[in-house]
Amino acid sequence: MTPDAESALPSANHAARTYKYYDLILAAFVTVLICTNFISAPKRVTIGTFTFGAGVLFFPITYLFGDILTEVYGYARSRRVVWAGFVAIVFASFLSWVVLKLPPEATWQAKGNQAAWETVFGNSHRIVLGSILGFFFGEFVNSFVMAKMKIRTKGRHLWMRTIGSTIAGEAADSAIFYPIAWLGVWEPDKIWTVLVANYCLKVGWEVLATPLTYKIVGALKRAEHEDYYDYGTNFTPFSLDT
């Protein structure tokens, strides 16, 4: 669709559409989100004198997915994917907590396996809460800004929308996560330094990924015969309607 009378119709027609790749993108989004939080996040990487969490390298991929989903399928379908990711990460956090709390087998524990699992998967409740809330609000800010900018720019300057929405979304994510996770644990100066450094890394990642975003968006629009504009969309996060 293009920004004409047809794309301004109520969302009923949009809801009735079926797509070839939407479900695959949803699955990929959830997979990246869970892997980032439970595999790469606990590890710290040092390059030169700069140290950062390994998750910073991969978490921005979720914003790339968010941009692609909103650009091609619209805010409402992107919203469903964010909710799927939110439920998945909440369930995975609960499952991880339950498994760690179960009494370990004596021989397995004697080999230090319990301690190793707690190190990798035993994030504090504050880190888990900050991560979940930061993701939730950051992704919705990203999709909202992306959709609104598409209308304002009449579909031009995709690079401006992808980078601008990521700047806003990552700012919301970082502003929520770091104070919840580390305030009172780290000195305020350290929190601010880490926040700004990681924020710049994530936004820079999005800038570098712009050519890839263009290719994926173009290919999906052609394959799905869709280029949705969010005229008349209800932008509340608290809905699953498409």
Could you tell me the two tokens for 138?
Answer: 């950051």
Distance of alpha carbon 235 from its chain centroid, rounded? 18
Kindly give the parts of the chain with pLDDT less than 70: 1-15, 40-42
The C-alpha atoms of residue 176 and residue 188 are separated, in whole angstroms, by 14
- In the chain, DSSP assigns E strands to 44-47, 50-53
The C-alpha atoms of residue 165 and residue 63 are separated, in whole angstroms, by 9
Class of domain 12-224: mainly alpha
pLDDT of residue 51: 74
Distance of alpha carbon 113 from its chain centroid, rounded? 31
The C-alpha atoms of residue 40 and residue 38 are separated, in whole angstroms, by 6
Phi then psi for residue 229, to 5 deg, are -115, 135
Helix (DSSP H) and strand (DSSP E) numbers for the chain: 11, 2
Could you tell me the two tokens for 83?
Answer: 């909710």
pLDDT of residue 38: 79
The C-alpha atoms of residue 23 and residue 29 are separated, in whole angstroms, by 10
The C-alpha atoms of residue 97 and residue 103 are separated, in whole angstroms, by 12
Cβ–Cβ under 8 Å, residues 8 and 232:
yes
pLDDT per position as a tens digit, 174-206: 999 999 999 999 999 999 998 999 999 999 999
pLDDT of residue 6: 40
pLDDT per position as a tens digit, 136-174: 999 999 999 999 999 999 999 999 999 999 999 999 999
pLDDT of residue 2: 47
Could you tell me the two tokens for 224?
Answer: 């799905």
Nearest to 171 by CA among 142, 147, 205: 142
Cβ–Cβ under 8 Å, residues 242 and 77:
yes
pLDDT of residue 14: 62
Cβ–Cβ under 8 Å, residues 66 and 146:
yes
Domains of the chain by residue range: 12-224
